Chain A
Amino acid sequence: MAYFETLGLVKLFGGLAAVNGVSFDVNEGEICGLIGPNGSGKTTIFNLINGYFPLDKGEIYFNGNKISGLKTHKICREGIGRTFQIVKPLKRMTVLDNVLASAFLRSHTKSEAVELAEKTVSFCGMTSLKDKVAGSLPIASRKRLEITRAMATKPKLLLLDETAAGLNPVELEEAIALIKKIRDSGVTIIIVEHIMKVIMTVSDRVVAINHGMVLAEGTPEEVASHAGVIAAYLGEDYCAAG
Protein backbone atom coordinates (compact mmCIF):
# COMPACT_ATOMS: atom_id res chain seq x y z
CA MET A 1 0.00 0.00 0.00
CA ALA A 2 1.20 3.49 -0.87
CA TYR A 3 2.24 5.95 1.82
CA PHE A 4 -0.83 8.07 1.14
CA GLU A 5 -3.74 6.80 -0.90
CA THR A 6 -7.20 8.04 -1.85
CA LEU A 7 -9.73 5.55 -3.18
CA GLY A 8 -12.72 6.75 -5.21
CA LEU A 9 -13.38 10.00 -3.36
CA VAL A 10 -16.81 11.46 -4.04
CA LYS A 11 -18.19 14.75 -2.76
CA LEU A 12 -21.54 16.09 -3.85
CA PHE A 13 -22.75 19.65 -3.32
CA GLY A 14 -26.46 19.46 -4.01
CA GLY A 15 -26.59 17.99 -7.51
CA LEU A 16 -23.00 18.91 -8.35
CA ALA A 17 -20.27 16.29 -8.01
CA ALA A 18 -17.35 18.57 -7.02
CA VAL A 19 -15.19 15.47 -6.59
CA ASN A 20 -16.22 12.45 -8.59
CA GLY A 21 -14.26 9.26 -7.99
CA VAL A 22 -10.77 10.57 -7.39
CA SER A 23 -8.07 7.99 -6.66
CA PHE A 24 -4.37 8.74 -6.46
CA ASP A 25 -1.29 7.73 -4.50
CA VAL A 26 1.53 9.73 -3.02
CA ASN A 27 4.89 8.20 -2.14
CA GLU A 28 6.78 8.99 1.01
CA GLY A 29 9.14 11.94 0.61
CA GLU A 30 7.86 13.21 -2.72
CA ILE A 31 6.17 16.42 -3.77
CA CYS A 32 2.98 15.64 -5.62
CA GLY A 33 1.50 18.47 -7.66
CA LEU A 34 -2.28 18.64 -7.99
CA ILE A 35 -3.36 20.75 -10.94
CA GLY A 36 -6.61 21.59 -12.67
CA PRO A 37 -8.65 24.59 -13.78
CA ASN A 38 -10.53 26.76 -11.32
CA GLY A 39 -13.45 24.92 -9.81
CA SER A 40 -12.12 21.50 -10.78
CA GLY A 41 -12.23 20.30 -7.17
CA LYS A 42 -8.69 20.68 -5.82
CA THR A 43 -9.57 22.56 -2.64
CA THR A 44 -12.48 20.21 -2.08
CA ILE A 45 -10.08 17.24 -2.25
CA PHE A 46 -7.98 18.90 0.49
CA ASN A 47 -11.10 19.49 2.53
CA LEU A 48 -11.95 15.80 2.21
CA ILE A 49 -8.46 14.66 3.14
CA ASN A 50 -8.40 16.86 6.22
CA GLY A 51 -11.89 15.90 7.31
CA TYR A 52 -13.35 19.37 6.92
CA PHE A 53 -16.07 17.91 4.70
CA PRO A 54 -17.46 14.40 5.26
CA LEU A 55 -16.92 12.07 2.30
CA ASP A 56 -19.96 10.92 0.34
CA LYS A 57 -17.99 7.91 -0.88
CA GLY A 58 -14.44 6.63 -0.86
CA GLU A 59 -11.62 5.97 1.56
CA ILE A 60 -8.35 7.61 2.47
CA TYR A 61 -5.32 5.76 3.86
CA PHE A 62 -2.24 7.34 5.36
CA ASN A 63 0.82 5.65 6.74
CA GLY A 64 -1.01 2.31 6.92
CA ASN A 65 -4.10 3.69 8.71
CA LYS A 66 -7.52 4.54 7.44
CA ILE A 67 -8.03 8.23 8.18
CA SER A 68 -11.31 8.89 6.37
CA GLY A 69 -14.08 9.42 8.91
CA LEU A 70 -11.77 10.89 11.54
CA LYS A 71 -12.36 14.40 12.86
CA THR A 72 -10.16 17.19 11.51
CA HIS A 73 -8.11 17.58 14.69
CA LYS A 74 -7.46 13.82 14.80
CA ILE A 75 -6.25 13.85 11.21
CA CYS A 76 -3.82 16.62 12.14
CA ARG A 77 -2.66 14.46 15.05
CA GLU A 78 -2.12 11.58 12.62
CA GLY A 79 0.41 13.83 10.88
CA ILE A 80 -1.40 15.68 8.11
CA GLY A 81 -1.01 19.46 8.12
CA ARG A 82 -2.69 21.86 5.72
CA THR A 83 -2.81 25.46 4.61
CA PHE A 84 -5.95 27.26 3.48
CA GLN A 85 -6.24 28.82 0.03
CA ILE A 86 -8.30 31.57 1.63
CA VAL A 87 -5.89 32.21 4.49
CA LYS A 88 -7.16 31.88 8.04
CA PRO A 89 -4.71 33.69 10.32
CA LEU A 90 -5.60 33.98 14.01
CA LYS A 91 -5.88 37.70 13.41
CA ARG A 92 -5.61 39.22 16.87
CA MET A 93 -2.67 37.03 17.89
CA THR A 94 0.95 37.67 17.05
CA VAL A 95 2.74 35.54 14.48
CA LEU A 96 4.61 33.71 17.23
CA ASP A 97 1.38 33.05 19.17
CA ASN A 98 -0.27 31.70 16.01
CA VAL A 99 2.57 29.22 15.65
CA LEU A 100 2.69 28.53 19.39
CA ALA A 101 -1.00 27.59 19.38
CA SER A 102 -0.19 24.84 16.92
CA ALA A 103 3.15 23.88 18.50
CA PHE A 104 1.33 22.72 21.66
CA LEU A 105 0.10 19.64 19.76
CA ARG A 106 3.56 18.03 19.83
CA SER A 107 4.76 19.48 23.15
CA HIS A 108 4.25 18.42 26.74
CA THR A 109 5.03 21.78 28.33
CA LYS A 110 4.70 25.40 27.36
CA SER A 111 8.45 25.94 27.25
CA GLU A 112 8.77 22.99 24.87
CA ALA A 113 6.03 24.53 22.71
CA VAL A 114 7.70 27.95 22.73
CA GLU A 115 10.96 26.36 21.68
CA LEU A 116 9.28 24.46 18.83
CA ALA A 117 7.40 27.59 17.73
CA GLU A 118 10.57 29.70 17.70
CA LYS A 119 12.39 27.01 15.74
CA THR A 120 9.60 26.68 13.20
CA VAL A 121 9.28 30.44 12.80
CA SER A 122 12.97 30.69 12.05
CA PHE A 123 12.91 27.62 9.75
CA CYS A 124 10.19 29.29 7.70
CA GLY A 125 11.96 32.64 7.65
CA MET A 126 9.43 34.59 9.72
CA THR A 127 11.64 35.59 12.64
CA SER A 128 11.60 39.30 11.79
CA LEU A 129 7.78 39.24 11.81
CA LYS A 130 7.20 37.12 14.90
CA ASP A 131 5.93 39.93 17.14
CA LYS A 132 3.61 41.40 14.50
CA VAL A 133 -0.12 40.90 14.90
CA ALA A 134 -1.22 38.37 12.27
CA GLY A 135 -4.09 40.56 11.08
CA SER A 136 -1.65 43.29 10.07
CA LEU A 137 0.44 41.11 7.72
CA PRO A 138 0.46 41.56 3.93
CA ILE A 139 -0.77 38.63 1.86
CA ALA A 140 2.66 37.11 1.14
CA SER A 141 3.41 36.88 4.88
CA ARG A 142 -0.06 35.53 5.63
CA LYS A 143 0.52 32.73 3.14
CA ARG A 144 3.87 32.02 4.76
CA LEU A 145 2.23 32.04 8.18
CA GLU A 146 -0.20 29.36 6.97
CA ILE A 147 2.79 27.17 6.12
CA THR A 148 4.60 27.99 9.37
CA ARG A 149 1.57 27.20 11.50
CA ALA A 150 1.04 23.89 9.71
CA MET A 151 4.74 23.02 10.10
CA ALA A 152 4.58 23.57 13.88
CA THR A 153 2.25 20.55 14.13
CA LYS A 154 5.22 18.50 12.82
CA PRO A 155 3.30 17.05 9.87
CA LYS A 156 4.50 14.02 7.94
CA LEU A 157 2.29 15.05 5.03
CA LEU A 158 1.66 18.70 4.21
CA LEU A 159 -1.16 19.94 1.98
CA LEU A 160 -0.36 23.31 0.37
CA ASP A 161 -3.30 25.07 -1.29
CA GLU A 162 -2.14 27.87 -3.63
CA THR A 163 0.40 29.23 -1.18
CA ALA A 164 2.23 30.96 -4.06
CA ALA A 165 -0.80 32.79 -5.48
CA GLY A 166 -0.51 36.57 -5.35
CA LEU A 167 3.22 36.65 -4.67
CA ASN A 168 5.68 38.86 -6.56
CA PRO A 169 8.65 37.21 -8.38
CA VAL A 170 11.02 37.62 -5.40
CA GLU A 171 8.49 36.22 -2.94
CA LEU A 172 7.79 33.41 -5.41
CA GLU A 173 11.43 32.35 -5.40
CA GLU A 174 11.43 32.41 -1.60
CA ALA A 175 8.28 30.31 -1.52
CA ILE A 176 9.76 27.73 -3.89
CA ALA A 177 12.92 27.58 -1.78
CA LEU A 178 10.86 27.07 1.39
CA ILE A 179 8.79 24.29 -0.17
CA LYS A 180 11.94 22.47 -1.24
CA LYS A 181 13.47 22.97 2.18
CA ILE A 182 10.39 21.46 3.81
CA ARG A 183 10.55 18.46 1.49
CA ASP A 184 14.26 18.04 2.23
CA SER A 185 13.46 18.00 5.94
CA GLY A 186 11.52 14.78 5.27
CA VAL A 187 7.95 16.01 4.84
CA THR A 188 5.84 14.60 2.03
CA ILE A 189 3.90 17.33 0.20
CA ILE A 190 0.80 17.59 -1.94
CA ILE A 191 0.75 20.99 -3.58
CA VAL A 192 -2.06 22.76 -5.41
CA GLU A 193 -0.78 25.61 -7.51
CA HIS A 194 -1.88 27.61 -10.50
CA ILE A 195 1.53 29.02 -11.28
CA MET A 196 3.03 26.44 -13.63
CA LYS A 197 6.56 27.52 -12.82
CA VAL A 198 6.11 26.39 -9.24
CA ILE A 199 4.46 23.10 -10.11
CA MET A 200 7.04 22.27 -12.80
CA THR A 201 10.06 23.11 -10.67
CA VAL A 202 9.09 21.47 -7.39
CA SER A 203 6.90 18.47 -8.25
CA ASP A 204 8.24 14.95 -8.52
CA ARG A 205 4.90 13.83 -9.88
CA VAL A 206 1.76 15.62 -11.02
CA VAL A 207 -1.90 14.62 -10.88
CA ALA A 208 -4.16 16.61 -13.20
CA ILE A 209 -7.86 16.78 -12.47
CA ASN A 210 -10.83 18.26 -14.28
CA HIS A 211 -14.50 18.30 -13.29
CA GLY A 212 -13.64 16.39 -10.15
CA MET A 213 -11.98 13.51 -12.01
CA VAL A 214 -8.38 12.49 -12.55
CA LEU A 215 -7.37 13.36 -16.10
CA ALA A 216 -3.70 12.40 -16.14
CA GLU A 217 -0.93 11.35 -13.80
CA GLY A 218 2.86 11.21 -14.23
CA THR A 219 6.03 13.28 -14.25
CA PRO A 220 5.55 17.04 -14.77
CA GLU A 221 6.74 16.65 -18.37
CA GLU A 222 4.37 13.79 -19.12
CA VAL A 223 1.36 15.59 -17.68
CA ALA A 224 2.26 18.88 -19.34
CA SER A 225 2.35 17.19 -22.73
CA HIS A 226 -0.86 15.19 -22.19
CA ALA A 227 -3.34 16.28 -24.85
CA GLY A 228 -6.34 16.28 -22.52
CA VAL A 229 -4.55 18.37 -19.94
CA ILE A 230 -3.44 20.90 -22.51
CA ALA A 231 -7.00 21.21 -23.75
CA ALA A 232 -8.63 21.37 -20.32
CA TYR A 233 -6.19 23.35 -18.34
CA LEU A 234 -3.28 24.93 -20.12
CA GLY A 235 -5.42 25.84 -23.11
CA GLU A 236 -4.36 28.40 -25.71
CA ASP A 237 -1.96 30.13 -23.36
CA TYR A 238 0.29 27.12 -23.28
CA CYS A 239 0.03 26.41 -27.02
CA ALA A 240 0.96 30.00 -27.77
CA ALA A 241 3.86 29.98 -25.33
CA GLY A 242 5.08 26.55 -26.41
Chain B
Amino acid sequence: MKNHLGPLAFLLVLIAFPLAVRDPYYQHLMILVLMWVAIGSGWNLIAGFTGQVSFGDAAFFGTGAYTAGLLAHKLGMSAWWGLGLGGIFAVIIAFPFGWICFRLRGAYFALATLALNEVMRHTATIWESLTEGMVGILIMQTFVSKIPYYYIALAIAVVSLISVQVVMSSRWGYYFVSIREDQDAAESIGIDTHYYKMVSLCLAAYLTGLAGSLYMNYMGFIDPTIVFSLHDISIMAILVGIVGGVGTVYGPAVGAFIMVAVSEVFRTGGFGLLEKLTAATGSPVMVLVTKYIKEAHVLTFGLLVIFVILFLPNGVVGGWRKSRRSH
Protein backbone atom coordinates (compact mmCIF):
# COMPACT_ATOMS: atom_id res chain seq x y z
CA MET B 1 0.00 0.00 0.00
CA LYS B 2 2.85 2.33 0.86
CA ASN B 3 4.12 1.91 -2.69
CA HIS B 4 0.84 3.22 -4.06
CA LEU B 5 0.68 6.38 -1.94
CA GLY B 6 3.00 8.42 -4.15
CA PRO B 7 1.22 7.61 -7.40
CA LEU B 8 -2.20 8.14 -5.75
CA ALA B 9 -1.24 11.60 -4.50
CA PHE B 10 0.06 12.38 -7.95
CA LEU B 11 -3.19 11.16 -9.50
CA LEU B 12 -5.14 13.58 -7.29
CA VAL B 13 -2.96 16.43 -8.51
CA LEU B 14 -3.62 15.37 -12.10
CA ILE B 15 -7.37 15.20 -11.47
CA ALA B 16 -7.30 18.73 -10.04
CA PHE B 17 -5.01 20.10 -12.74
CA PRO B 18 -7.50 21.33 -15.39
CA LEU B 19 -9.65 22.90 -12.67
CA ALA B 20 -6.68 24.82 -11.32
CA VAL B 21 -4.95 25.61 -14.59
CA ARG B 22 -7.57 27.10 -16.91
CA ASP B 23 -5.18 28.07 -19.72
CA PRO B 24 -6.12 25.80 -22.66
CA TYR B 25 -2.52 25.87 -23.88
CA TYR B 26 -1.24 24.09 -20.79
CA GLN B 27 -4.26 21.79 -20.80
CA HIS B 28 -3.34 20.90 -24.37
CA LEU B 29 0.23 20.08 -23.40
CA MET B 30 -0.96 17.89 -20.53
CA ILE B 31 -3.29 16.00 -22.88
CA LEU B 32 -0.28 15.27 -25.08
CA VAL B 33 1.74 14.16 -22.05
CA LEU B 34 -1.03 11.76 -21.01
CA MET B 35 -1.32 10.39 -24.54
CA TRP B 36 2.43 9.80 -24.57
CA VAL B 37 2.23 7.97 -21.26
CA ALA B 38 0.10 5.34 -23.02
CA ILE B 39 2.41 5.13 -26.05
CA GLY B 40 5.53 5.07 -23.89
CA SER B 41 4.04 2.34 -21.69
CA GLY B 42 3.38 0.22 -24.77
CA TRP B 43 6.87 0.76 -26.14
CA ASN B 44 8.29 -0.03 -22.74
CA LEU B 45 6.42 -3.36 -22.59
CA ILE B 46 7.81 -4.72 -25.84
CA ALA B 47 11.20 -2.97 -25.88
CA GLY B 48 12.02 -2.15 -22.27
CA PHE B 49 10.68 -5.26 -20.58
CA THR B 50 10.72 -7.86 -23.38
CA GLY B 51 13.88 -6.57 -25.07
CA GLN B 52 12.41 -6.44 -28.60
CA VAL B 53 13.16 -2.85 -29.61
CA SER B 54 10.56 -1.26 -31.84
CA PHE B 55 11.39 1.58 -34.22
CA GLY B 56 7.94 1.47 -35.71
CA ASP B 57 5.38 2.38 -33.06
CA ALA B 58 3.79 4.83 -35.49
CA ALA B 59 2.45 1.81 -37.39
CA PHE B 60 0.19 1.03 -34.42
CA PHE B 61 -0.48 4.65 -33.50
CA GLY B 62 -1.50 5.51 -37.05
CA THR B 63 -3.68 2.39 -37.31
CA GLY B 64 -5.53 3.44 -34.16
CA ALA B 65 -5.94 6.99 -35.45
CA TYR B 66 -7.19 5.87 -38.86
CA THR B 67 -9.57 3.38 -37.26
CA ALA B 68 -11.27 6.21 -35.37
CA GLY B 69 -11.10 8.55 -38.36
CA LEU B 70 -12.51 6.07 -40.87
CA LEU B 71 -15.31 4.94 -38.57
CA ALA B 72 -16.50 8.54 -38.61
CA HIS B 73 -15.58 9.41 -42.18
CA LYS B 74 -16.68 6.25 -43.99
CA LEU B 75 -19.33 4.74 -41.75
CA GLY B 76 -20.71 7.89 -40.19
CA MET B 77 -20.21 6.45 -36.74
CA SER B 78 -18.85 8.40 -33.82
CA ALA B 79 -15.07 8.52 -33.85
CA TRP B 80 -15.24 7.62 -30.17
CA TRP B 81 -15.90 4.01 -31.23
CA GLY B 82 -12.25 4.18 -32.21
CA LEU B 83 -11.28 4.07 -28.54
CA GLY B 84 -12.70 0.56 -28.44
CA LEU B 85 -11.63 -0.55 -31.90
CA GLY B 86 -8.40 1.38 -32.56
CA GLY B 87 -6.37 -0.81 -30.24
CA ILE B 88 -7.92 -3.94 -31.71
CA PHE B 89 -7.05 -2.94 -35.27
CA ALA B 90 -3.49 -2.14 -34.14
CA VAL B 91 -3.33 -5.69 -32.76
CA ILE B 92 -4.62 -7.02 -36.09
CA ILE B 93 -1.61 -5.34 -37.75
CA ALA B 94 0.80 -6.44 -35.00
CA PHE B 95 -0.22 -10.10 -35.01
CA PRO B 96 0.90 -11.24 -38.48
CA PHE B 97 3.88 -8.91 -38.29
CA GLY B 98 5.09 -10.45 -35.04
CA TRP B 99 4.29 -13.97 -36.20
CA ILE B 100 6.70 -13.58 -39.10
CA CYS B 101 9.27 -11.15 -37.74
CA PHE B 102 9.91 -12.61 -34.30
CA ARG B 103 12.05 -15.16 -36.07
CA LEU B 104 14.47 -12.24 -36.29
CA ARG B 105 16.54 -11.29 -33.29
CA GLY B 106 17.94 -8.01 -32.00
CA ALA B 107 18.74 -5.32 -34.56
CA TYR B 108 17.08 -7.31 -37.35
CA PHE B 109 13.76 -7.20 -35.57
CA ALA B 110 14.19 -3.46 -34.96
CA LEU B 111 14.78 -2.97 -38.70
CA ALA B 112 11.63 -4.94 -39.48
CA THR B 113 9.57 -2.62 -37.26
CA LEU B 114 11.06 0.33 -39.11
CA ALA B 115 9.97 -1.27 -42.37
CA LEU B 116 6.46 -1.83 -41.00
CA ASN B 117 6.27 1.87 -40.14
CA GLU B 118 7.17 2.81 -43.71
CA VAL B 119 4.86 0.23 -45.29
CA MET B 120 1.94 1.55 -43.25
CA ARG B 121 2.69 5.17 -44.09
CA HIS B 122 2.96 4.46 -47.80
CA THR B 123 -0.19 2.36 -47.74
CA ALA B 124 -2.12 5.15 -46.06
CA THR B 125 -0.76 7.61 -48.62
CA ILE B 126 -1.49 5.53 -51.72
CA TRP B 127 -4.79 3.85 -50.81
CA GLU B 128 -6.75 7.04 -51.43
CA SER B 129 -10.13 5.38 -51.90
CA LEU B 130 -9.99 4.30 -48.26
CA THR B 131 -7.81 6.88 -46.51
CA GLU B 132 -8.12 10.00 -48.72
CA GLY B 133 -4.31 9.83 -49.03
CA MET B 134 -2.40 13.03 -48.37
CA VAL B 135 -5.62 15.02 -48.15
CA GLY B 136 -6.09 13.48 -44.74
CA ILE B 137 -9.20 12.99 -42.67
CA LEU B 138 -11.04 15.80 -40.93
CA ILE B 139 -13.76 15.11 -38.40
CA MET B 140 -15.93 17.30 -36.22
CA GLN B 141 -14.58 17.43 -32.71
CA THR B 142 -17.12 16.60 -30.03
CA PHE B 143 -16.11 19.15 -27.41
CA VAL B 144 -14.96 22.74 -27.58
CA SER B 145 -13.45 22.64 -24.13
CA LYS B 146 -10.24 20.69 -23.60
CA ILE B 147 -11.34 19.41 -20.22
CA PRO B 148 -13.31 16.34 -21.41
CA TYR B 149 -10.37 15.30 -23.60
CA TYR B 150 -8.09 15.80 -20.66
CA TYR B 151 -10.02 13.40 -18.47
CA ILE B 152 -10.32 10.80 -21.21
CA ALA B 153 -6.57 11.03 -21.78
CA LEU B 154 -5.98 10.77 -18.05
CA ALA B 155 -8.13 7.64 -17.89
CA ILE B 156 -6.17 6.08 -20.77
CA ALA B 157 -2.84 6.95 -19.14
CA VAL B 158 -3.91 5.51 -15.80
CA VAL B 159 -5.25 2.34 -17.42
CA SER B 160 -1.96 1.95 -19.29
CA LEU B 161 0.14 2.30 -16.18
CA ILE B 162 -2.04 -0.02 -14.12
CA SER B 163 -2.09 -2.60 -16.93
CA VAL B 164 1.69 -2.57 -17.16
CA GLN B 165 1.99 -2.81 -13.38
CA VAL B 166 -0.39 -5.78 -13.24
CA VAL B 167 1.17 -7.54 -16.22
CA MET B 168 4.70 -7.06 -14.96
CA SER B 169 4.02 -8.60 -11.58
CA SER B 170 2.37 -11.64 -13.14
CA ARG B 171 3.68 -14.72 -14.94
CA TRP B 172 3.70 -12.77 -18.22
CA GLY B 173 5.97 -10.10 -16.76
CA TYR B 174 8.49 -12.64 -15.51
CA TYR B 175 8.44 -14.31 -18.91
CA PHE B 176 8.93 -11.00 -20.75
CA VAL B 177 11.96 -10.06 -18.66
CA SER B 178 13.40 -13.58 -18.96
CA ILE B 179 13.19 -13.29 -22.74
CA ARG B 180 14.95 -9.92 -22.58
CA GLU B 181 17.70 -11.24 -20.36
CA ASP B 182 18.42 -14.45 -22.28
CA GLN B 183 16.17 -15.96 -24.88
CA ASP B 184 17.93 -19.35 -24.92
CA ALA B 185 17.80 -19.65 -21.15
CA ALA B 186 14.11 -18.68 -21.27
CA GLU B 187 13.33 -21.45 -23.79
CA SER B 188 15.23 -23.99 -21.72
CA ILE B 189 13.09 -23.27 -18.64
CA GLY B 190 9.97 -23.97 -20.64
CA ILE B 191 9.00 -20.49 -21.86
CA ASP B 192 7.48 -20.41 -25.35
CA THR B 193 9.47 -17.32 -26.31
CA HIS B 194 7.78 -16.79 -29.67
CA TYR B 195 4.34 -16.87 -28.09
CA TYR B 196 5.18 -14.50 -25.24
CA LYS B 197 6.91 -12.04 -27.55
CA MET B 198 3.62 -12.01 -29.48
CA VAL B 199 1.67 -11.39 -26.27
CA SER B 200 3.94 -8.49 -25.38
CA LEU B 201 3.79 -6.98 -28.86
CA CYS B 202 0.01 -7.22 -29.02
CA LEU B 203 -0.37 -5.53 -25.62
CA ALA B 204 2.01 -2.78 -26.76
CA ALA B 205 0.17 -2.36 -30.05
CA TYR B 206 -3.15 -2.15 -28.24
CA LEU B 207 -2.04 0.69 -25.95
CA THR B 208 -0.41 2.53 -28.85
CA GLY B 209 -3.48 2.13 -31.07
CA LEU B 210 -5.67 3.36 -28.23
CA ALA B 211 -3.52 6.48 -27.98
CA GLY B 212 -3.81 6.91 -31.75
CA SER B 213 -7.59 6.90 -31.68
CA LEU B 214 -7.54 9.42 -28.84
CA TYR B 215 -5.36 11.62 -31.03
CA MET B 216 -7.88 11.49 -33.89
CA ASN B 217 -10.75 12.40 -31.61
CA TYR B 218 -8.84 15.18 -29.93
CA MET B 219 -7.07 16.81 -32.87
CA GLY B 220 -9.85 16.28 -35.42
CA PHE B 221 -7.40 15.97 -38.28
CA ILE B 222 -4.90 13.33 -39.38
CA ASP B 223 -2.89 12.56 -42.49
CA PRO B 224 -0.28 9.85 -43.17
CA THR B 225 2.71 12.10 -42.46
CA ILE B 226 1.37 13.04 -39.04
CA VAL B 227 0.25 9.74 -37.54
CA PHE B 228 2.68 7.43 -39.32
CA SER B 229 5.60 9.78 -38.72
CA LEU B 230 8.84 7.95 -38.10
CA HIS B 231 10.33 10.90 -36.33
CA ASP B 232 7.43 12.51 -34.47
CA ILE B 233 5.87 9.22 -33.33
CA SER B 234 8.24 6.24 -33.57
CA ILE B 235 11.45 7.97 -32.48
CA MET B 236 9.57 10.05 -29.93
CA ALA B 237 8.16 6.81 -28.47
CA ILE B 238 11.68 5.46 -28.03
CA LEU B 239 12.76 8.68 -26.33
CA VAL B 240 9.76 8.68 -24.00
CA GLY B 241 10.62 5.07 -23.17
CA ILE B 242 14.31 5.56 -22.47
CA VAL B 243 14.46 9.04 -20.97
CA GLY B 244 12.18 8.06 -18.10
CA GLY B 245 13.78 4.69 -17.53
CA VAL B 246 13.71 1.54 -19.65
CA GLY B 247 11.95 -1.35 -17.97
CA THR B 248 10.39 0.62 -15.12
CA VAL B 249 6.62 0.95 -14.79
CA TYR B 250 6.59 4.72 -14.19
CA GLY B 251 9.53 5.52 -16.44
CA PRO B 252 7.35 6.30 -19.48
CA ALA B 253 5.22 8.70 -17.41
CA VAL B 254 8.29 10.72 -16.46
CA GLY B 255 9.64 10.37 -20.00
CA ALA B 256 6.39 11.61 -21.53
CA PHE B 257 6.45 14.72 -19.38
CA ILE B 258 10.08 15.52 -20.17
CA MET B 259 9.80 14.81 -23.88
CA VAL B 260 6.61 16.78 -24.46
CA ALA B 261 8.19 19.71 -22.61
CA VAL B 262 11.43 19.44 -24.57
CA SER B 263 9.76 19.21 -27.95
CA GLU B 264 7.45 22.10 -27.07
CA VAL B 265 10.40 24.28 -26.08
CA PHE B 266 11.91 23.65 -29.48
CA ARG B 267 8.71 23.89 -31.47
CA THR B 268 7.99 27.30 -30.00
CA GLY B 269 11.58 28.48 -29.94
CA GLY B 270 11.79 28.65 -26.17
CA PHE B 271 8.11 29.65 -25.77
CA GLY B 272 8.59 32.61 -28.10
CA LEU B 273 11.60 33.87 -26.23
CA LEU B 274 13.80 33.65 -29.29
CA GLU B 275 11.29 35.55 -31.42
CA LYS B 276 11.11 38.31 -28.82
CA LEU B 277 14.88 38.49 -28.78
CA THR B 278 14.97 38.61 -32.56
CA ALA B 279 12.41 41.41 -32.65
CA ALA B 280 14.20 43.33 -29.90
CA THR B 281 17.65 43.12 -31.42
CA GLY B 282 16.55 43.06 -35.04
CA SER B 283 19.70 41.08 -35.75
CA PRO B 284 19.66 38.85 -38.84
CA VAL B 285 21.81 36.35 -36.92
CA MET B 286 18.97 35.85 -34.41
CA VAL B 287 16.54 35.19 -37.25
CA LEU B 288 18.76 32.38 -38.43
CA VAL B 289 19.31 31.02 -34.92
CA THR B 290 15.57 30.98 -34.27
CA LYS B 291 14.91 29.16 -37.52
CA TYR B 292 17.56 26.52 -36.87
CA ILE B 293 16.67 25.94 -33.25
CA LYS B 294 13.07 25.35 -34.21
CA GLU B 295 14.18 22.79 -36.77
CA ALA B 296 16.92 21.31 -34.64
CA HIS B 297 14.78 19.31 -32.27
CA VAL B 298 15.69 16.11 -34.10
CA LEU B 299 19.32 16.84 -33.30
CA THR B 300 18.49 17.73 -29.73
CA PHE B 301 16.52 14.50 -29.34
CA GLY B 302 19.65 12.69 -30.42
CA LEU B 303 21.84 14.60 -27.99
CA LEU B 304 19.35 13.93 -25.23
CA VAL B 305 19.53 10.20 -25.87
CA ILE B 306 23.32 10.33 -25.65
CA PHE B 307 23.10 12.32 -22.43
CA VAL B 308 20.67 9.86 -20.87
CA ILE B 309 22.73 6.85 -21.87
CA LEU B 310 25.93 8.41 -20.52
CA PHE B 311 24.69 9.86 -17.26
CA LEU B 312 21.43 8.08 -16.45
CA PRO B 313 21.72 4.62 -18.02
CA ASN B 314 18.66 3.52 -16.05
CA GLY B 315 16.67 6.62 -17.02
CA VAL B 316 15.36 9.22 -14.62
CA VAL B 317 13.18 6.80 -12.66
CA GLY B 318 15.76 4.00 -12.61
CA GLY B 319 18.59 6.35 -11.63
CA TRP B 320 16.53 7.87 -8.88
CA ARG B 321 15.55 4.45 -7.52
CA LYS B 322 19.14 3.37 -7.42
CA SER B 323 20.41 6.45 -5.62
CA ARG B 324 17.57 6.12 -3.14
CA ARG B 325 18.37 2.50 -2.40
CA SER B 326 21.99 3.28 -1.65
CA HIS B 327 21.00 5.61 1.22
Contacts and interface: CB of A to CB of B under 8 A. Distances in A.
Residue among B170, B181, B189 with the highest chain A CB neighbour number at 10 A? B189
A105 B193 CA distance: 13
A104 B175 CA distance: 9
Interface stretch (A13-21, A28-36, A85-93, A171-179): A85-93
A105 B174 contact: no
Contacts of B186: 90, 101
B188 A101 contact: no
Interface string B174-205: 11011001101111111111000000000000
A105 B182 contact: no
A102 B190 contact: yes
Interface of B, helix, strand, loop or mixed by DSSP: helix
A114 B178 CA distance: 16
B171 interface: yes
A150 B184 CA distance: 13
A73 interface: yes
Contacts of A100: 174
Interface residues of A, number: 28
A84 B186 CA distance: 12
B171 A110 contact: yes
Interface in A50-83: 50, 52, 71-73, 76-77, 81-82
Contacts of A88: 182, 184-185
Contacts, number: 74
Contacts of B178: 90, 93, 101
A153 interface: yes
Contacts of A102: 189-190
A160 to B, nearest CB: 13
Contacts of A153: 189-190
B185 A77 contact: no
Interface string A109-148: 0100100000000000000000000000000000000000
B107 to A, nearest CB: 20
Contacts of B184: 52, 72, 84, 88
A150 B177 contact: no
A145 to B, nearest CB: 10
A97 interface: yes
B170 A90 contact: no
Contact of B191 (A50, A73, A81, A97): A73
Contacts of B192: 71, 73
A46 to B, nearest CB: 10
A104 B185 contact: no
Interface string B285-304: 00000000000000000000
A156 interface: no
Contact of B188 (A72, A93, A97): A72
A76 B174 contact: no
A113 B182 contact: no
Nearest to B183: A88
B247 to A, nearest CB: 8
B183 to A, nearest CB: 9
A149 interface: yes
B38 to A, nearest CB: 25
Contacts of A90: 177-178, 181-182, 185-186
B189 A150 contact: yes
A81 B188 CA distance: 7
A104 B174 contact: yes
B196 to A, nearest CB: 10
A93 B189 CA distance: 15
A223 to B, nearest CB: 28
A100 B174 CA distance: 8
A101 B187 contact: no
A149 B174 CA distance: 13
A101 B49 CA distance: 14
Nearest to A99: B189
B171 A93 contact: no
Q: Report the 4 A-B pairs with minimum CB-CB distance, sorted nearest first.
A: A102-B189, A76-B190, A90-B181, A88-B185
Given A73-B187, A90-B182, 6 more contacts: A52-B184, A71-B187, A73-B188, A76-B189, A92-B177, A102-B190
17 contacts: A52-B187, A71-B187, A73-B191, A76-B187, A81-B188, A84-B184, A84-B188, A89-B182, A89-B185, A92-B177, A93-B177, A101-B175, A102-B189, A105-B191, A110-B171, A150-B189, A152-B189
Interface of A: 50, 52, 71-73, 76-77, 81-82, 84, 88-93, 97, 100-102, 104-105, 110, 113, 149-150, 152-153
